[in-house]
């Protein structure tokens, strides 16, 4: 083989590697996009009650949203922890204390 043949072969291999990398990157971008879309598609949590304040300054709770004159602050329930976060917290605790919680 001549030097030109080696150059042509290496250029062909380089083009093939670039094409494979581009396809891999495009696939990764599509997967990441779908993951973000799924996260954003999660339903927004509704408030369970409102903390309000009347004209005198007394604070009280209401189940239904009052007008803005009562300065309502939406109150939400705490979502359940995700299994991954719970397992990670348990692992960290075991590492620090040497036993399971």
Higher pLDDT, 65 or 1: 65
> What is the domain extent for residue 71?
45-101
Structure-block tokens of residue 10: 């290496």
φ and ψ at residue 61, rounded to 5 degrees: -105, 150
Q: Are residues 65 and 82 in the same domain?
A: yes
Q: Are residues 20 and 68 in the same domain?
A: no
Q: Are residues 38 and 49 in the same domain?
A: no
Q: Is the pLDDT of residue 72 over 90?
A: yes
Q: Are residues 57 and 19 in the same domain?
A: no
CA neighbor of 74 nearest in space, from 87, 88, 61, 91? 61
Q: Are residues 23 and 72 in the same domain?
A: no
Q: In this predicted structure, what is the pLDDT of residue 99?
A: 63
Q: Which residue has the tokens 């009347």?
A: 54
Q: What is the CA radius of gyration of the chain?
A: 29
Q: Is the pLDDT of residue 91 over 90?
A: no
Span 11-66, pLDDT tens digits: 889 898 988 888 888 888 888 888 877 776 666 788 999 999 988 999 999 999 99
Per the DSSP assignment, residues forming a β-bridge with 49 are 75
d(CA 40, CA 54): 36
pTM of the entire predicted model: 0.39
């Amino acid at each position: 083989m001549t030097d030109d043949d080696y150059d042509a072969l290496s250029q062909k291999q380089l083009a093939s590697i670039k094409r494979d990398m581009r396809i891999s990157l495009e696939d990764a971008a599509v997967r990441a996009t779908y993951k973000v879309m799924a996260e954003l598609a999660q339903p927004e949590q509704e408030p369970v009650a409102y903390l309000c304040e009347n004209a005198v300054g007394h604070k009280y709770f209401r189940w239904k949203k009052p007008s803005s004159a009562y300065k309502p602050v939406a109150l939400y329930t705490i979502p359940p922890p995700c299994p991954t976060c719970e397992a990670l917290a348990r692992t960290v605790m075991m590492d620090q204390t040497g036993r399971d919680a």
